[in-house]
Structure formats: structure tokens, C-alpha cells
Structure 1
Amino acid sequence: YVGDGGTTGGDDQGNAEISEQELREIHLPPFREAIERGAGSVMISYSSWNDVKLHANRYLVTDVLKDELGFGGIVVSDYDAIDKIDGREDFTPEEVRASVNAGLDMIMMSDRHEKFLDYLRAEVESGRVPMTRIDDANRRILTKKFELGLFERPFAQRDLLPEVGGEQHRALAREAVRESQVLLKNDGVLPLAKDGKIFVAGKNADDIGNQSGGWTISWQGGSGDVTEGTTILEGIRRSAPGAQVDYSRNGEGVDDSYQAAVAVVGETPYAEYEGDRPDGLGLDDEDLATIAKLRESGVPVVVLTVSGRPLDVAGELDGWNALLASWLPGSEGQGVADVLFGDHNPTGKLPMSWMRSFDQQPINEGDGQDALFPLGFGLRYPS
């Protein structure tokens, strides 16, 4: 909260140099909707709005979030974020005062908790942080603990641990995957036949780490077998046991005997900061070379983008027979195959405008820019 998606240049922890009207029209509505649906906590962004750090912005935290939107839950800081208010290492009494008086109820810290408490006590005793602010924070935290039943049931229900990652959970995850697939182009090659001869290629076809993205097991995620599950290639083979499915990461071995070639390309794992790509969001050289090899065979080419955001593909799109935005399907790659073979008609719709070129960023509905695919776009198969 709020506006970290509108920072200049898309910089993580950057500065949203936008008007209040744009902030309210573009960035505030999701928070209003979440609050109306009962969200219990809101985390403040590392970023700034017109050079003022959000963690010190009383107007946006207290006046807008708490008072105007009526948020009655807990406002929590991001990880060690109060350290960053003045742009220097470590935190100061002034940063403690600024963040708490801005309206933060809970401060997330990696260490130095005693130091923070000493500073806060001194600020309260001096009157620079009023007790009414402390009472408000405690009231909000205690209320949520009561609502969650933590005083009656303070410990985790460990008898449910064996069910985590079980068949019921994976079935639900697979359903979420297939319902999130967005079909952006299709000249008739999809859905694929289950008794055909299919070639699969691409660095994201058989890599569960890549299809899971960041914040999976580790902060930035990682390629390879980072967790249990089904890759997209494995899902294709399971969904079409009667088909001949051949695979090569770089497309080596493809020829015109195949009914279709599926290129699973896109991004490798990242989380915030490491995911900044200020120089562009196009496919990398490996992806482009793989797709080019498939096209040279003369068979129809279906491109699946595995990514956490829209990619800059307008320059290549004309040469593809179909494009499916698969986002980050996580552990259940068979949900992607459910759509490829028509077991599930694609129902996903774009939750944002898809850029025609990187130069259009940021692009939003109603800003007058000509998107490659508009907000809400998503094709279905003919009945």
C-alpha cells in the first residue's frame, strides 16, 4: 500500500511520481475492494509517493486507509522498512516516531527489537508519540487475535500437517492453474489432438522451479527441482497418453512430421528487486532461437509464456499460430495441459493491459494508449 506499481521506471522500492487523482483512480481501488471483503491486515510499501516514504505518510496511512476507507485491521510495516525512511543504515528515534505516528500498528524487524522498544518508550514518554496512537495499535492487534481465536487456540493444528500438499490440495491448485490460463491468439491449432504427434521445447517446459517463480521455497526462487509437482511437459504427457510427445529444450530434432510444436518460454524465477528489468521485457536469446528452430520446421507453433507479467512479444507474434499466457502455474503443470488439449475451455481474462511495446510502460486502461491486448481480453475455443 499504495502505488508501488506506479513507480518511475517500475523500480522496486522506487518513487511514484504521480498525481493524487492517478493514485486514487489506478492504485487505490484494489485496496478499497480488499477492505470491503474483510482483509485483516495491510502492509505498507517500501516505495515513496512524490518523494515521501509510504512508511512515514500519515495522510495515506491514517487519513485515507484508516479513516476514509474505514480499515479496522492491522497496518504492518514491510521487512526492516522503517530503516529506509531517512535513506541511511539502521533506524533512528525520528524514524520510529514518523512510522508509528503515520499509523503503523505493527513493525516487522529482523533484529534490534529491544532497541526499537527503547526508542518507542522514550518517544511516548516525551509526548512525541501520543498514547492514543499506542492504544489504537494495540486495540487493532488484539481484536484480530480475538477474531482468529488465538487466545483460545494459540498453537498450530499440527494434526492437519499430513494433508498439506495432498491430493485434495493439488487438485485445487490444478483447477486454479487451468482457470488462470489466458488465450491471447489462436488460428485454430488449439486445442491439440490427444492422439497426435507433438513436439515440446523451451527452457520452461520441464522445469518446476521456473514455472513456480520467486518466493517458492527461497526468496528469489530457483530453477530445477525445487519442489514436488508436475512440470508442463509432464502434464502434457499425462493428459495425452495416446499421443507421441517428444521433447528437446532447444528444439533440436523437430521436423514437419509433427502436428504441432509447443514452445514453453518466458522468465526464470525472481522476486522483488532482482526482478527489475529496466532495459526491456522481451524474450531472451535462448527463447527466440528455440522458437525460430520450431518455425523452420514448418509445423504450427504454439507459444506458452511462463512469466510473472506481460512480456514484450508484439514483434514476434505474427509468426506464432497461438499464444497462451500461462503466468506462473506453480506445482501443477497439468492445469496448463488441461487447456492445451481442450479438457477445459480457457476462461482467463487479462487483469491488466498488455503492452504493444516496452516504451508504452506504464500502460493502463483509459490512458489513450493502444494496447496489444486490452484489459479483460481472453479468447475461448469454438463450441
Structure 2
Amino acid sequence: MGTTTTPLVLVLLFCCLVSVLQAEYLKYKDPKQPLNVRIKNLLKRMTLEEKIGQMVQIERSVATPQVMKKYFIGSVLSGGESVPATNASAETWIQMVNGIQNGSLSTRLGIPMIYGIDAVHGNNNVYKATIFPHNVGLGVTRDPVLIKKIGDATALEVRATGIQYVFAPCIAVCRDPRWGRCFESYSEDPKIAQAMTEIIPGLQGDISSNSRKGVPYVSGKNKVAACAKHYVGDGGTTKGINENNTVISYSELLRIHMPPYYDSIVKGVSTVMVSYSSWNGQKMHANHFLVTNYLKNKLKFRIMVPFNFTEFIDVLTYQVKNNIIPVSRIDDAVKRILRVKFVMGLFENPLADLSLVNQLGSEEHRQIAREAVRKSLVLLKNGKSAEKPLLPLPKKAAKILVAGSHADNLGYQCGGWTITWQGLGGNNLTVGTTILEAVKQTIDPATKVVFNENPDSNFVKSNNFSCAIVVVGEHPYATTFGDSLNLTIPEPGPSTITNVCGSIQCVVVLITGRPVVIQPYLSKVDALVAAWLPGTEGQGVADLLFGDYGFTGKLARTWFKTVDQLPMNVGDKYYDPLFPFGFGLSTNPTKY
């Protein structure tokens, strides 16, 4: 009897041991386990190659399932105009993202990759997505509730394409409009930039009130991980030169450029992107004090910091194996990456489905964007005298002239970071409403609209127009390509203003990513509207021009007289603007 019992006991013990080992092996995949337990359990199983792979982000164009599996790649991105196909549908995006994800899931540990995209004013790389006004306009609204709604809508439209991570918001405090990224900034005032960080809970979900500071939060499959950028001081470079040097004291850096990061971290932002720029001559990527001592240690930022470059796997492996970089530094980076992936539920739901595809460019989201357009416009002038305002225009008139290079150009209206990195001209890039189309949809059916992009003065004088709407501005640009030392409106914009406004009552609508030189033309125009870069919903512009809603926007940037005054910001000792920070005329809605 004893000889039979002993082998049986050994078999049972072996089975129990196998069960325990299996349970331990699956611990990091168990959502019921504490977060730190899951991270620790997975990290100890990872080889150096697997850890380094998690630290690498590669471009979609090279992210085959085979590459993902071979190098254990942790993240993939779509850069500007990097799409699976021209005018790709949401279904096509999902198929591509899931195909890449399957490569990651086929690895030994099955760690899912995270896919990121520059959704800086909606899911702007994607055809038919709702394109919201750029941040330069949203800052004018001073409406955190609206900004949160935009974040929520953007999250749904990004998730509709299977993507889980956005490189937004840009919370730079632009102090010089010569900077080519100034349109990505909410304001020159850090308080407005702080208020606009409410887009983060819109993108990620509301963090609980008792949550620890610096811990990421993404509430489920309808939300995305956000990225506050670019840490820190990128909006204060000399002459606004992109990726250049910000010369400022430590106290002023903390006062002007740091506040939006405080709010972002409190709201659980998942990542912070470090800037290419320098502070007092030292590159931010090499600034141990600001990145490690201040961001990680003082602000308790426990999340991943995606540097703006791809680390070469073989070089990093060599440096670790030769004790140039300690393994502890690699482990710290990987723990931060895994934390985000666990928190956002990627291990439980790595693959996207088609349940949200109808969210892309939905009517509900377009109405939110239209509201944002209305609240972002600033009325800078209304009539040659206050007693005789031009706006709102009557819907019923004999004949209205619409002129200007930007009146019937959806691409110009949306600006950079729309479908392509630098943006496009024309009306074939995506779906939306141009300002000309909006005017036609708003006026009385009996009113005739004549469109002439650049009419001469004889044409204007000989056609007996009731009034004119002139829409001109900057051509699309992004990043360094937008740096400008003169900030002038390109031709034929100035000629159109002169030809039209010299002959007839006119309202000039400016489509720009920042204040531009306008003083030479100011006396010629009857009304002047700063519409910034309103996006696809041009109907919001017509809503105000014809009085369905009143103008309420107030400048979130100082409007200079000449570029020689720059940089000039509210609170400066010598402050002599054309239109001061906070300026904006109001109108009342017209009852029809």
C-alpha cells in the first residue's frame, strides 16, 4: 500500500507545482492583479532584447508583422501623410493596425504594441475625419468645457480607426508668432494654456479625485492615451525659430512655460514628449535636471517620456552589455511604457473592432466643431465708425461678392497637419464646408452670390454689389517650414483687399495661424475678422457673419503693429499693440 501511495503523492505534488508555475506565468496577464505586480512580473521575464524593443517606436511604413515579432517593437506611429491608402476608410485603418498588432501578439510574451498618431486638431491624418479649429483659435474660446468635448470627440474618431495613442495636446506657450508652430499653441498666456489642458480628460477620461499625482489614466476602449508636448519652453525660442534656443531665467521658465505641465500631470496625462529645443544653450533631451530631477522626481511623473527619435537597437544593446548604460535605466524606461499599456487595457483588448467606425466625421462631432469655430472667431473691427457697424450682414440683399484665395479652399481653411504634414490646398483633401459654401447655404434664396477669387477694381465697381466678403490669409505650413520673420499675407491677398475694399463695403476674414501684418490695410476695410484656422466646418464662420450667433471671442494673443515689436506679450513693460491681448468686439444675434 505504501509503495502505491508514494508515487501518487509525487504525481499530485508535481501537478500542483505545474499549476502554480502556470498561474505565476500568467500573472501579468491577469487584470485582477495589482498594477505594480503585473509590471514587476512581466519585467522579470523579459530579455534585454525584449526590453529594448519596447523602447523603440517605428514608422508604419516599415512596421510589418515580421519586424514587430523579430525586434519586439513596442510602438508604431503614423507620421504626417503616412496612411494605409489614399482616402483610406476607418475599416482600412483598423485592418492595418490589427495586422501590425498581430505581429506583436505572436511574440513569446505577447506584449501588445501601442499605435500613435498626430491627432492635433481631430484625427487629422484621416480622410472624412472632423477637423477642429487649431489650438490658436481654441484658446480664444476660453471654454474648458468645449475643449473637453473636443477631446472626447477626437478620442472616438481616433479609436474609430483602431489607434490608441495621440501625440496631443501641444501645450506650448507661444511667445513669438514668428514661430512656425504658434498655431499649435493656445495662447501666449500660461493661464489659458493651463485651462485648455481640460482636453486631456476629454481624450483619456476623468481621473478619480483620490488618484496619485503622476499616474496615467485611460478609461477604456473609447479613450486614447494623450501626450503633452513639447517639454519645455519650445514656445519661447529666440525670434521664434523652431527647435532653437529659449533664453530665459529658471524662475521665468517655471512661471511661463511650466504651468500647463503641472495641470497635465494632475489630470493623468499618459506621456510627455521632450522638445528638440534648448534652454539657455542646453538641448532639452540632454537636460538631466529638467527631465529627470524636475519632471520625474519633483513632479512625480511616473509615466513614459517618448523622446523624438528612434533608438537604434544594436547600439543600445551594445551600450548596456558594455556597462555604458546601466540595466536599471532600461528597466525604468520599460516600466513606464508597460504601465501605460496596462492602465489603458491593451493587454485585455489589443485588437480593434468595427464598433466605432460610424464615429468618424459624425454629424454630432461636426456640430461640436462648428460651435468651436463660432467661439474662436475674433471681431477686430466693425464699421468705419462705432455708430455704423457692418456686421452682422443681412441675409437678404441684391448681390454679395465673395472674393479671396481662401474663400473656397478647404485645405487653406484647415491649415497644416491636415491629411499631410504641411497641409494642402484645394477642396479634394477631405470632406467639409468651405466659407463660400457656407455663405451660399446661409443667405436668403433671393440673394445672389458672385464668387471671384481675385477681382480687379473695375469688376467690383461695375457690378453694383451690396457688400463683399474677402477671405485671405496664409498658405498651410507646419513646424520649421512655417517660421517667418516678416509675417506678411502672401499675394494676391493684399491686392484683393485693395481692389475690393477700395470700391465697396467689405468684411475681411483672415485665415491665419497667428497674428499677421494687417495695419497697412486696416483703414481700407469696414470690418475685420480673425478666423484663424477653423477646420472643416466653415459654416461656423457664416453663422457669425450673418448674425445667427453673436461674436464673443477675445484675443488670446497680442496683435502687433509691426514685426519690429516682436516678441511682445501682455504684461511687457513696452506694450503698444495694434490689438491688445483680450480684445474682441461683440455683436448680438439677429432675429429673422
Secondary structure at 1:24's aligned position in 2? Answer: helix
Matches within 5 A, 1:193-342: 193-196=394-397, 197-225=399-427, 226-242=429-445, 243-252=447-456, 253-255=459-461, 257-278=464-485, 280-297=486-503, 299-342=504-547
Matches within 5 A, 1:9-20: 9-20=239-250
Aligned match of 2:317? 121
Give the distance between the partners of 1:7 and 1:347, measured in 2 at CA. Answer: 31
Aligned match of 2:80? none
Question: Deviations along 1:142-165, whole A, 9 cap, x unmatched?
Answer: 221122111111122333223311
Q: Aligned pair 1:179/2:387, yes or no?
A: no
Give the distance between the partners of 1:69 and 1:374, measured in 2 at CA. Answer: 34
Question: Deviations along 1:2-59, whole A, 9 cap, x unmatched?
Answer: 1121111211121112222332222222222322333221111111112211111111
Give the distance between the partners of 1:156 and 1:176, measured in 2 at CA. Answer: 30
Structure 1 letter corresponding to 2:551: P
Aligned match of 1:62? 292
Give the distance between the partners of 2:586 and 2:263, measured in 1 at CA. Answer: 28
Give the Å deviation of 1:69.
3.0
Give the Å deviation of 1:330.
1.3
Give the distance between the partners of 1:182 and 1:213, measured in 2 at CA. Answer: 18
Q: State the 4+ residue runs in structure 1 displaced beyond 4 angstroms.
A: none
Aligned match of 1:191? 392
Which one is further off, 132-141 or 206-215?
132-141
Give the distance between the partners of 2:253 and 2:426, measured in 1 at CA. Answer: 39
* TM-score using structure 2 length: 0.56
Give the Å deviation of 1:227.
1.3
Structure 2 letter corresponding to 1:257: N
Give the Å deviation of 1:382.
4.3
Secondary structure at 2:400's aligned position in 1? Answer: strand
Give the distance between the partners of 1:183 and 1:35, measured in 2 at CA. Answer: 35
Give the distance between the partners of 1:282 and 1:117, measured in 2 at CA. Answer: 45
Q: Aligned pair 1:76/2:282, yes or no?
A: no
Give the distance between the partners of 1:198 and 1:35, measured in 2 at CA. Answer: 50
Secondary structure at 1:254's aligned position in 2? Answer: helix
Q: CA 1:349–1:41 in structure 2 vs 1: closer, same or farther (change >3 Å)? A: farther
Give the distance between the partners of 1:63 and 1:322, measured in 2 at CA. Answer: 51
Give the Å deviation of 1:61.
1.3
- Out of 579, 582, 590, which is 1:373 matched to? 579
Give the distance between the partners of 1:45 and 1:346, measured in 2 at CA. Answer: 36
- Out of 261, 278, 281, which is 1:51 matched to? 281
Q: Is the 8 A contact 1:267 1:307 kept in 2?
A: yes
Give the distance between the partners of 2:583 and 2:327, measured in 1 at CA. Answer: 51
Q: Is the 8 A contact 2:549 2:588 kept in 1?
A: no
Give the distance between the partners of 2:509 and 2:477, measured in 1 at CA. Answer: 19
Give the distance between the partners of 1:39 and 1:322, measured in 2 at CA. Answer: 41
Q: Aligned pair 1:148/2:349, yes or no?
A: no
Q: Is the 8 A contact 2:551 2:588 kept in 1?
A: no
Give the Å deviation of 1:275.
0.8
Q: CA 1:180–1:141 in structure 2 vs 1: closer, same or farther (change >3 Å)? A: same
Give the distance between the partners of 2:284 and 2:487, measured in 1 at CA. Answer: 27
Q: Aligned pair 1:362/2:362, yes or no?
A: no
Give the distance between the partners of 1:77 and 1:183, measured in 2 at CA. Answer: 40
Aligned match of 2:558? 353
Structure 2 letter corresponding to 1:56: A
Aligned match of 2:251? 21
Aligned match of 2:235? 5
Q: Is the 8 A contact 1:354 1:371 kept in 2?
A: yes
Give the distance between the partners of 1:34 and 1:350, measured in 2 at CA. Answer: 23
Question: Deviations along 1:263-312, whole A, 9 cap, x unmatched?
Answer: 1111011111111112x012223111100111221x22211110111112
Give the distance between the partners of 2:262 and 2:569, measured in 1 at CA. Answer: 19
Give the distance between the partners of 2:581 and 2:327, measured in 1 at CA. Answer: 46
Which one is further off, 340-349 or 247-256?
247-256
Give the distance between the partners of 1:5 and 1:259, measured in 2 at CA. Answer: 43
Give the distance between the partners of 2:585 and 2:381, measured in 1 at CA. Answer: 7
Give the Å deviation of 1:239.
1.4
Give the distance between the partners of 1:170 and 1:233, measured in 2 at CA. Answer: 18
Where structure 2 has 5 or more consecutive residues not aligned to the other structure, the ranges are 1-230, 384-388
Give the distance between the partners of 1:37 and 1:245, measured in 2 at CA. Answer: 48
Give the distance between the partners of 1:65 and 1:141, measured in 2 at CA. Answer: 16
Give the Å deviation of 1:133.
2.7
Q: Is the 8 A contact 1:195 1:244 kept in 2?
A: no
Aligned match of 2:44? none
Secondary structure at 1:75's aligned position in 2? Answer: coil
Aligned match of 1:100? none
Which one is further off, 218-227 or 68-77?
68-77
Q: Is the 8 A contact 2:498 2:524 kept in 1?
A: no
Q: Is the 8 A contact 1:6 1:362 kept in 2?
A: no
Q: Is the 8 A contact 1:310 1:354 kept in 2?
A: yes
* TM-score using structure 1 length: 0.85
Give the Å deviation of 1:229.
0.9
Q: Is the 8 A contact 2:502 2:524 kept in 1?
A: no
Q: Is the 8 A contact 2:512 2:533 kept in 1?
A: yes
Structure 2 letter corresponding to 1:53: K
RMSD, aligned CA: 1.9
Q: Which one has a bigger Cα radius of gyration?
A: 2
